[in-house]
Each structure stands twice: as C-alpha cells, then as structure tokens.
C-alpha cells in the first residue's frame, strides 16, 4: 500500500510550546506600537472616512490583492508582486501547519501537502527571494531617483531575506534528516539538501534545531517590528486605501464661510489637519512615485511631494509626541478633559510651532500646480494636494501671506468677475456676431454654454469659443449663454487658498443659474467643468455638467456632425490634468481627433501620467521664477514625437502650449489647437477654416 504523502510536524524540536508565549509577546509589542501611532493620528480633526464600507472594502481588497496600482510601474511592480504574493502564500502555509498542530485537523497530507505545502510554498518562496534580490539591486545598485535608502530599509530587506533563506535551509536539513520520500515536490529545498547530505546526524540535528529557533525568532521579530518602521505599510496601505475620500476626485473639502464660531480657516498647525491627513504621513512608503511624476519637482522647483509628507511625519513625531507627553502628565495629575484642553492652551507658547516656513517652506507651498499626479500614482492613496491647499487657505485667509501676483488676480475676480480685470459688462462681446442668445432671450434653451473667463476674454481662446458655438449651431443644439451675468467659477481663487472669494463667486453663479432654471451646462474649460460639476454641489448647485469634448464626441456618434474635410495631420493630444486625472475623460478627445482625420501619436507622458502644462492651482496667474518652465518642458515632449499639431481641450493648456511653442521658436513646425478648432476645421472649408 502506497503511503500517504505528509511530514512530521516539529521534527527534531522539543519545547515547541514556547511558540505561544513568544508569539503573544510579539503581538503585544505590535499592538503597543500601533497604539502609539494611533494616538498621534487622533490629534487630528474628525472626518468621516467610514461611510459606504462595502465600497471601501471592495476597492481596498481589489488594490491589495491585484496590486493594480503598484503594477503601473513594471519593474518595481513585479518586484512588489513577487514579495507580496510570496509572503502571503507562505503565511497561508503556516496557517495550515497551525491548524493541524493546534486544532488537530488532519489536513496536511495527500494532495494539499504535495501541491500546496511542498510545491506551491517552494515556488512562491523562490518568488519572494527573487523579488528581494531585485529590491536590493534597485535600492543599492541602480539607485533610481525617488528612492532614498535609510537604516529601516536595510533592516526590512535583511529580515525578509533571512526569513526566506533560513526557511529553505531548514527544509533542506529536514529532507536529509528524515530521508523525505516526497522531497522532489520541494524543488528548492531538495536542491539545497545536496549541500548537507555529507553531515553527520548529530551535527545535522543540532544545526537544524538552532536554525529552527533562529527562524522562529526572525519571524516573531518581523511581527513585532511592523509598526516601528517601513513594514507598517502592510497594515496601513489597506487601511489608508479603505479610508480614501469617496468624493469626486476633483473635490476639495468644504469650509462653511458663514460659520461665526470658526476661529481659524485652513491648516496652520499640525492639529488642524484631519486624522486622515496624519495617517497619510505613516502610510507613505517613500517609493518616490509622487516625486517622479511631479511637474514642479521635475522642473527644478523646491516641491517634492514625498519630502512634504515625510517632513510632516517628522513633525508629527516631534510635536505630536510632545503633546501626548504633556497630556499624559496632565492626566496623571487627575485633570479632566476640559482642564487638559485649557492646559494645552496655556502651553501654546511651547507647542505653537506653525507649519509654513517652519516645516513646509513658503516656496514649496506655492510651487504646486495641483495637477494631482502625485495622488494618481501613489499606491497607498496618500492625499498630497488637499494638504497643500489647506495650508494655502490658512496663509491667505488667516495670515494674508501669498505671492504678490495673486493679489491682483484676487482683486480682478472680486471687482470684475474675471482674473484679467476686464470690465464685467464686456463679457458677452465675443458672441456679438455669432447669433448666440442669452437665457433672457431664450429661457427654454436645453443647455447653458459656459465659455468661462478664458473663452470670453482671452483673444486666443475666443477663437475656440467661436468654433464651438458654430459646431453646436451646425448640430442643431439648443443652447444659450448667461452673457454678462456669468462670473468666474472661482477655481483659481479656491486653489490659491482664497476660499472666501471662491464662496462669493460660486454663490452668485449658483443663484443666477438657479434663477433661470438651468439644468444642463456645457463647459469649455476643464477647471470650470470640475468646479461646476464636483464642487458647486457643496453649496447646493446641482447641475448636469458636460465638457465640450463629451458633447462633440456624442454629436459625431449621432451623425449630427459629419467630417467632410479630414485634416490629415500628425497630432499629439495633451491630456489636461483637470479633464483627465481629475475627471477621467481620456477617450472622447481622442475619438474626436480620430474622427477629424488626425493621425494620433502619443507623448511618453499621457493619459493618467500626462505632464502638467504648469497653469493649474492658480499658477496661471503667478510668475514662474524657479527652475525650468513647465510649459516649455511639455512643449519639448510634443516636439520629440514629431507631431504637426499638439491638441488639447483646456484654455489654460492651450495658452501655455502656445507660449511654449513660441519660446522654442517652433511655430513653423508645431501648432497648438483646441479640439473644437480641429473638428470645426475638419467639417468646414474655405474662408471658415480656423486652422490658418
């Protein structure tokens, strides 16, 4: 009769009962470390990140199990996949052993033993080993930009490497010592067994026994060390993904500007961040993806999203630790919660360190274009941009500290409803000869066409407005404009931290549109689109908002627009940050260009990894004094693919790319056009052509 494949548990080991107290000690150390960090997070302000738990769990599970976000970068993604899945399968193998030894379940025999406990564990253990070697090579040999190596990194990699190697060696020693008839199912262990077959049995058993306890100590050290270093991301990554914001990606937090009890606005001190903001600082694994995709950093500005988060973490450790120590002393003196709060106020001189220019330099804060590339690439859902905007809010509203150029833009928006400061009464002049009705003249129009400030005042973008109007008219679309009643949507004001000005502009626009009974809006600018669609609902402005690329793509599909003169040009499309990363509109612009006859070529940085034009976050109105000009870098990327035209669907991007082409003296070889202009040219001929 053929024996059932299995193996003896705890071969050559006495006193295995010590596993349990040692395991309990490691868990206690882990729990204490977690409690310490949790106490620091609790210093932050309350925010609800536990709504819609099923949605949160589903996404967290998806991101963790599939490693989808991590795999966007192939080499480090594969490395992490091998380590993660390998360690997970090895952990499950340990669980199977525990179920048999502790619960008496006779399950580790037959197929489960051969296929899983032997072959699968060897295969995945080898995968971990390969992944760790790749990690060591990248970190200490390749040293790519964005990766900085500290003591903790070496400890983690060394610990994991020792656990895997000692595990394989133990298996090899057991195979030799027991003359395991099923050794072939453990290929790695069986291979290593060849190095020990000449050992005497006493030497082999002594080596095995020592190494077994050493391996156990390493495993329990691994568990205990988790909350004290980089290993903490094993728990914090899923937690942080679970606690991510479920608001639309382009939405900033709401501030009630009419709250008379509010003593401060924005974030000026550590404690004014939310607890999720503080959790973010621990969830960051310093992988460098945010930094490697940040246009400010890549253009030589002082902003590194990774460093920003790590500086905040260091500040949390120092100031947060001091606060907790003081509160513990107060509690030991028998002080109640109200007295502790009063004592905190009394020690304000000790713990009053502000963030800006103490932790975060002023130049760092204002270098951000709010392009959101950092957040898009972060595998653990760290939220960089909201922190920057919250600190800007505090600087603008509480400290009146902001770039001098911003003051002019603020004043222009306040006095004339647009950043250029052009008289508000001329806002509708661009449409005088186009036969465009206002809602006063056409109250039953299906759509409000919102040209935005650029479409109404900027000479270059007024051409886009003209093209779009003629396309909508040609398709028989029912639309009207607000005319001089339209005001700036407030995007630039809000991103630069002037929440009060944004609030005033938004309230006025919402009241105007609600008064006309407007339900549907077509926008030309992604910044307007994002603000009207994602942020006006915070103030009661509920509208169906469409970007002009969505509308034009649908009109083409319906046959209401037909291409009669394909442009036959080599075109590269520049994804606007606020249209692409913020609102996931990638296909519609490309569909339009393809329908117009364009031969599409992609820049290296495209779709969700598109490179910012440099105008977002209010940077359109600020001087670029440090490093290289971001718009020129993006123009160079367009020139590299040999395109005849770079097309976009954002007035800010169009302006920045046009300026970049001029600065590069490339006007003879490269044109910058909006999607609407390209399509209008493709369905028009003769004197109506806008491409000239």
* pLDDT over threshold 70, residue 344: no
Q: How sure is the predictor about 263, in pLDDT bands with cuts at 50, 70 and 90?
A: confident
pLDDT band at 336 (very low <50, low <70, confident <90, very high): low
Average pLDDT along the chain? 92
User: Following CA atoms 423, 428, 430, 436 in sequence, which dihedral angle do they give, to the nearest 10 degrees?
Assistant: 180
Span of 144-148, 254-258, 304-308, 654-658 with lowest mean pLDDT: 144-148
Query: What sign does the CA torsion over 456, 468, 509, 413 have?
Result: negative
Residue 447: strand pairing partners: 479, 520
What burial class does residue 48 get, using C-beta atoms within 10 Å of its C-beta: 0-12 exposed, 13-18 middle, 19+ buried?
exposed
Q: Quick one: which of 452, 476, 420 has its CA closest to 649? A: 452
The topology (CATH level 3) of 404-556 is: Uracil-DNA Glycosylase, subunit E (3.40.470)
Mean pLDDT of 447-451: 98
CA nearest neighbour of 219 among 13, 15, 27: 27
Q: Are 170 and 212 contacting, i.e. CB atoms less than 8 angstroms apart?
A: yes
| Chain position carrying tokens 């339009």 | 592
Query: What confidence score (pLDDT) does residue 250 get?
Result: 79
Statement: residue 690 has pLDDT above 50: no
Confidence check: pLDDT of 342 > 80: no
Among the CATH numbers 1.20.950, 1.10.260, 2.40.128, 1.10.3470, which is that of 50-242? Answer: 1.20.950
What pLDDT is stored for residue 689 in this prediction? 46
The length of the chain, given as a count of residues: 692
Give the per-residue pLDDT at 3: 80
Cα 583-586-592 angle, rounded to 5 deg: 125
**Residue 339: per-residue pLDDT:** 54
SS3 561: coil
Q: What is the pLDDT of residue 687?
A: 42
Least confident of 196-205, 352-361, 430-439: 352-361
**Which pLDDT tens digit goes with each residue over 563-606?**
988 998 999 999 999 999 999 999 999 999 999 999 999 999 99
Q: Pairing relation of β-strands 645-648 and 671-674?
A: parallel
DSSP 253: P
How many Cα atoms within 13 Å fall on the side-chain side of residue 271?
16
Check residue 311 and give left, alpha or beta (phi > 0: left; psi -120 to 50: alpha): alpha
Q: What is the pLDDT of residue 692?
A: 37
685 pLDDT exceeds 50?
no
Domain ranges of the chain: 50-242, 270-397, 404-556, 562-688
Q: How far apart are the first and last CA of the chain?
A: 89
- What is the pTM for the complete model shown? 0.92
What's the average model confidence in pLDDT over 479-492? Answer: 96
Structural fold of domain 562-688: Rossmann fold (3.40.50)
Q: What is the DSSP letter of 691?
A: -
Q: What is the tens place of the pLDDT at every residue in 30-72?
A: 999 999 999 999 999 999 999 999 999 999 999 999 998 899 9
Q: Is the pLDDT of residue 349 over 70?
A: no
- pLDDT tens digits, 608-665: 999 999 999 999 999 999 999 999 999 999 999 999 999 999 999 999 999 999 999 9
- What pLDDT score was predicted for residue 343? 53
Task: Give 273-314 pLDDT, tens digit per residue.
Answer: 999 999 999 999 999 999 999 999 999 999 999 999 999 999
pLDDT at 335: 62
Q: What is the pLDDT of residue 291?
A: 95
> Nearest CA to 531 among 490, 475, 590, 499?
490
CATH class of 270-397: mainly alpha
């Amino acid at each position: 009769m053929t024996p059932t494949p299995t193996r003896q548990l705890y071969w050559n080991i006495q006193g295995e009962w010590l596993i349990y107290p040692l395991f309990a000690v490691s868990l206690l150390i882990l729990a204490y470390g977690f409690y310490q960090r949790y106490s620091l997070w609790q210093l932050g302000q309350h925010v609800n990140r536990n709504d819609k738990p099923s949605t949160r769990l589903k996404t967290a599970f998806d991101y963790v199990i599939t490693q989808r976000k991590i795999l966007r970068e192939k080499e480090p993604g594969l490395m992490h996949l091998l380590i993660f899945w390998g360690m997970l399968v090895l952990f499950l193998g340990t669980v199977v052993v525990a179920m048999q030894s502790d619960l008496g379940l006779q399950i580790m025999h037959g197929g489960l033993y051969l296929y899983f406990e032997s072959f699968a564990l060897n295969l995945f253990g080898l995968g971990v080993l390969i992944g760790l070697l790749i990690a060591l090579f990248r970190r200490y040999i390749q040293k790519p930009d964005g990766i900085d190596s500290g003591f903790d990194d070496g400890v983690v990699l060394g610990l994991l490497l020792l656990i895997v190697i000692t595990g394989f060696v133990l298996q090899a020693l057991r195979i030799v010592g027991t003359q395991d008839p099923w050794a072939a199912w453990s290929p790695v262990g069986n291979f290593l067994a060849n190095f020990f077959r000449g050992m005497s049995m006493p030497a082999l058993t002594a080596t095995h026994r020592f190494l077994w306890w050493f391996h156990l100590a390493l495993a329990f050290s691994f568990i205990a060390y988790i909350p004290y270093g980089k290993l903490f991301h094993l728990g914090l990554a899923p937690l942080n993904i679970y606690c991510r914001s479920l608001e639309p990606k382009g939405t900033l937090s709401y501030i009630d500007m009419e709250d008379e009890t509010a003593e401060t606005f924005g974030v000026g001190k550590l404690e004014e961040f939310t607890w999720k903001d503080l959790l973010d600082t621990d969830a960051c694994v310093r992988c460098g993806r945010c930094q490697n995709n940040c246009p400010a950093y890549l253009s030589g500005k002082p902003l590194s999203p990774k460093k920003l988060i790590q500086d905040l973490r260091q500040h949390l450790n120092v100031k947060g630790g001091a606060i907790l120590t003081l509160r513990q002393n107060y509690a030991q003196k028998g002080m109640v919660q109200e007295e502790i709060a009063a004592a905190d106020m009394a020690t304000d001189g000790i713990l009053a360190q502000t963030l800006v220019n103490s932790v975060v330099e002023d130049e760092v804060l204002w270098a951000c274009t709010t392009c959101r590339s950092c957040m898009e690439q972060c595998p653990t859902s760290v939220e960089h941009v909201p922190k920057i905007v919250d600190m800007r809010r505090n600087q603008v509203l509480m400290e009146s500290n902001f770039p001098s150029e911003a003051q002019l833009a603020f004043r222009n928006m306040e006095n004339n409803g647009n950043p250029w400061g052009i008289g508000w009464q001329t806002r509708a002049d661009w449409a005088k000869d186009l036969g465009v009705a206002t809602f006063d003249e056409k109250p039953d129009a299906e759509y409000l066409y919102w040209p935005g400030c650029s479409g109404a005042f900027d000479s270059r973008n007024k051409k886009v407005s003209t093209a779009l109007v003629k396309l909508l008219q040609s398709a028989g679309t029912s639309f009207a404009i607000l005319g001089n009643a339209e005001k700036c949507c407030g995007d630039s004001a809000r991103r630069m931290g002037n929440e009060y000005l944004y609030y005033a502009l938004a309230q006025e626009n919402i009241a105007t549109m609600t008064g006309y009974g407007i339900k549907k809006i077509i926008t030309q600018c992604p910044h307007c689109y994002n603000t009207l669609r994602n942020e006006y609902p915070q103030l009661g402005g509920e509208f169906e908002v469409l970007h002009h690329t969505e509308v034009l793509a649908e009109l083409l599909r319906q046959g209401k627009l037909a291409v009669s003169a394909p442009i036959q040009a080599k075109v590269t499309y520049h994804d606007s940050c606020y249209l692409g990363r913020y609102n996931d509109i990638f296909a519609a612009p490309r569909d339009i260009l393809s329908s117009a006859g364009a031969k599409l070529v992609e820049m290296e940085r495209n779709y969700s990894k598109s490179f910012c034009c440099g105008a977002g976050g209010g940077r359109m109105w600020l001087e670029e004094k440090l490093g290289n000009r971001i718009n020129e870098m993006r123009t160079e990327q367009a020139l590299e693919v040999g395109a005849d035209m770079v097309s976009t669907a954002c007035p800010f991007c169009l302006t920045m790319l046009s300026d970049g082409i001029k600065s590069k003296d490339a006007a003879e070889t490269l044109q910058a056009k909006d999607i609407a202009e390209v399509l209008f040219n493709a369905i028009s001929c003769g004197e109506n052509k806008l491409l000239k």
